[in-house]
């Protein structure tokens, strides 16, 4: 176990409640990079790791990031945003909005997945909330393809019963993921679009 000194004042000021994909309310402490990653950490995480950096930020190895509040225009998307991140590549002096930073540093196609429900699929049996576009639940009873003949998941059964609906959803989802967003061409390349310096993670991700 890591020996460290807890920042009690930080913990008091940064308590945050979030809903997980099962719509269960969980309590935690904001990651030091919360304005960027929007993640929280548990008390157990702090006791084990000795910091307030979430598992995602730890995985990518960038530690505590440099953020500033500014209503200036982002040089990437040319939109005005309240928070800008200093790009973490070594020697890079450039700032950009957190939205663009997220896509350049850790683009994740799950952000662009589509819910099959608007196309006719029944909802998850566990009552999970799935947005129209965004991260979808991964419950086995909903998405598993392990035994589609004898024990089909909700989506597999829907695929068999309503193949045209399934096809429409699948084609639209592929397009949604491929489209990404306005910074599609920059997604996940981990390279500053201004000076071209690249962020090198501590190991291959």
- For 164-175, the pLDDT digits (tens) are 999 999 999 888
Total Cβ atoms within 10 A of residue 193: 16
Count of domains observed in the chain? 3
Same structural domain for residues 83 and 127?
no
Q: How many residues does the chain have?
A: 205
Are residues 84 and 145 both part of a single domain? Answer: no
Is residue 27 located within the same domain as residue 77? no
CATH number, domain of 194, equals: 3.30.40
How many angstroms separate the CA atoms of 18 and 144, rounded? 26
Same domain, 21 and 121: no
Tell me the pLDDT band of 178, cut-offs 50, 70 and 90. Answer: confident
Relative to beta strand 67-69, strand 83-86 is antiparallel
What distance in Å separates the CA atoms of residue 17 and residue 28, rounded to the nearest whole number?
A: 6
| 52 in the same domain as 41 | yes
Q: What is the pLDDT of residue 2?
A: 45
State pLDDT tens for residues 2-45: 445 789 999 999 998 876 655 567 889 999 999 998 899 998 88
Q: Where are the beta strands (DSSP E) in 31-147?
A: 40-41, 67-69, 83-86, 95-97
For 5-9, which contacts have Cβ atoms below 8 Å and span 24 or more sequence positions? 6/46, 7/52
pLDDT digits (tens, 9 = 90+) for 124-168: 998 888 999 888 888 888 887 777 788 899 999 999 999 999 999
Answer yes or no: do 83 and 34 share one domain: no
Whether residue 57 sits in one domain with residue 3: yes
Residues 49 and 76 in one domain: no
Q: Output the average pLDDT for the chain.
A: 85
Domain assignment of residue 76, given as a range: 66-107+188-205
Whether the full predicted model's pTM is greater than 0.85, yes or no, is no
Tell me: pLDDT of 81 over 70.
yes
């Amino acid at each position: 176990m890591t020996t460290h000194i807890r920042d009690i004042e930080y913990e008091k000021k940064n308590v945050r409640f979030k809903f997980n994909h099962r719509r269960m309310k969980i309590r935690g402490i904001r990651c030091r990079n919360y304005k960027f990653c929007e993640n929280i950490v548990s008390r157990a995480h702090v006791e084990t790791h000795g910091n307030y950096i979430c598992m995602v930020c730890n995985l990518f190895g960038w530690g505590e990031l440099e953020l500033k509040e500014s209503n200036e225009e982002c040089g990437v998307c040319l939109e005005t945003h309240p928070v800008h991140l200093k790009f973490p590549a070594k020697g890079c002096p450039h700032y950009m909005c957190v939205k663009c930073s997220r896509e350049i540093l850790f683009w994740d196609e799950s952000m662009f997945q589509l819910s099959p429900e608007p196309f006719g699929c029944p909802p998850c049996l566990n009552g999970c909330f799935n947005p129209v576009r965004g991260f979808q639940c991964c419950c086995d009873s909903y998405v598993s393809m392990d035994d589609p003949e004898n024990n089909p998941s909700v989506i597999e059964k829907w695929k068999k019963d309503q193949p045209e609906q399934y096809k429409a959803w699948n084609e639209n989802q592929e397009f949604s993921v491929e489209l990404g967003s306005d910074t599609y061409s920059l997604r996940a390349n981990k390279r500053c679009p201004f000076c071209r310096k690249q962020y090198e993670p501590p190991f291959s991700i």
